[in-house]
């Protein structure tokens, strides 16, 4: 549970942006998506996990081509809990959006069209989760432990957004 532990560490670190309120807001948004689609929360968490894996790949490419600060700036710009189609298009060209929806549909059984409609909310909440490790004084710096853990800077492969969200849900009691 490397990502979960890193985020919990950020919550307890006053120099990082993470807070229980932020995590609660993310969990509430996931639950709202569940209610809006008539799907159980674990299915939506799985969709978030699949989308999160594709967000990781896109951010790894961004980091490789433009560097850590540009990657952090993208996370800061599009992190949130409301719908933001620009967040999706900043990471995925239209054909990749379709592929992400198809893959998530195959893993969860949720309709790909429904997943396409959810992407503008799911991508910002994944980025919001990643923003939690940013420095409170200078959020543009590349010292974001959560983002680094998510991008698996140490190469151990221990990253799973769906598991982390499920644990946060239990942690914040939602």
pLDDT tens digits, one per residue of 161-174: 665 666 556 655 65
1 — pLDDT class (breaks 50, 70, 90): very low
Q: 147-153, long-range: CB within 8 Å, 24+ apart, which pairs?
A: 147/59, 147/71, 147/72, 147/75, 149/2, 149/3, 149/6, 150/3, 150/56, 150/59, 151/56, 151/59, 151/60, 151/63, 151/71, 152/56
In this prediction, residues 24-42 reach a mean pLDDT of 92
What pTM, to 2 d.p., does this model score? Answer: 0.84
Please report the pLDDT score of residue 137 as a whole number: 78
Which range has the worst mean pLDDT, 76-80, 82-86, 128-132?
Answer: 128-132
Give the residue among 174, 167, 171 at the shortest CA–CA distance from 3.
167
Please report the pLDDT score of residue 20 as a whole number: 84
Cβ atoms 146, 132 nearer than 8 A: yes
In this prediction, residues 23-42 reach a mean pLDDT of 92
102/21: higher pLDDT: 102
Q: In a 10 Å sphere around its CB, with 0-12 CB exposed, 13-18 middle and 19+ buried, how is residue 112 labelled? A: middle
In this prediction, residues 88-103 reach a mean pLDDT of 96
Give the residue among 98, 87, 99 at the shortest CA–CA distance from 59.
87
155 — pLDDT class (breaks 50, 70, 90): low
CA dist 113 and 78 (Å) reads 23
In this prediction, residues 84-110 reach a mean pLDDT of 96
């Amino acid at each position: 549970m490397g990502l979960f532990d890193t985020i919990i560490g950020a919550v307890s670190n006053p120099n990082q942006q993470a807070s229980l309120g932020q995590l609660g807001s993310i969990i509430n948004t996931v639950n709202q998506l569940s209610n809006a689609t008539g799907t159980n929360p674990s299915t939506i968490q799985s969709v978030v996990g699949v989308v999160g894996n594709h967000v990781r790949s896109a951010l790894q490419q961004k980091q490789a081509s433009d560097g850590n600060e540009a990657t952090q700036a993208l996370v800061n710009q599009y992190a949130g809990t409301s719908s933001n189609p620009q967040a999706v298009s900043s990471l995925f060209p239209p054909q990749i959006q379709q592929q992400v929806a198809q893959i998530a549909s195959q893993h969860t059984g949720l309709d790909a069209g429904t997943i396409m409609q959810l992407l503008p909310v799911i991508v910002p909440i994944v980025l919001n989760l990643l923003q939690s490790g940013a420095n409170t004084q200078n959020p543009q710096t590349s010292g974001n432990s959560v983002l680094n853990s998510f991008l698996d800077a140490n190469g151990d492969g221990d990253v799973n957004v769906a598991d982390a969200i499920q644990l946060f849900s239990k942690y914040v009691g939602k």
